[in-house]
Structure 1
């Protein structure tokens, strides 16, 4: 049953709102359906061959054939559902338009203190002991 004109307009408005509110989520949702049929065919063939090897290994009492079949099935499933790698060059585009390697940074990530700040704060056990002492002092012990 096709959508009415009103439903189509509402759906398009919701799509525009989602794109403006969270463009990263919108691009992720749009890119989900862009997998090639070849990826599914290869994964299906791998699953089928893996299943046949697993059954043959079990029927013939040969453990190694069954293990190979299981590993092949697992690898095919991972291949089917893993995000495809982006095609083309990856890295940083320089001023000339070429692509260079990504710079390696020794800069810390997140809010974790490093070096001097970590030494000033003390380790986990020191902080734990400080909290314990404060609690005991607050209770009057």
Structure 2
């Protein structure tokens, strides 16, 4: 079910505030997992197939050492295939801040202030109403 326009605006505002307020956290905990490259998948597949061949050869020849080596090579091939590539241009906190401070194409709410400021003022009013 798609989000309404208001929900999408609120979500975008929350995301911008997260980037603005917690840039260090976002840069360290953000997208640390990259996607495996096609090259590593191809190399890993070839190594894995060689490992399966060695494993089958070890079983046919009844040589457990060859089978164990085949299993290790097969496991190494799988690990090569699923290991994410290294990012040469990692995102720094300054990059995240620059992106968050870039003006948005969407209009700000007519009531003024940011989403978080409005939520904080609502919270304060509720607390004042309960306390009196």
TM-score > 0.5, shorter chain as reference: no
Shorter chain as denominator, the TM-score bin is: 0.3 to 0.5
Q: Which structure has the larger Rg?
A: 1
TM-score (norm 1): 0.43
Q: Higher helix share goes to which structure?
A: 2
Which of the pair has the greater relative contact order for Cα pairs under 8 Å at 6+ separation? Answer: 2
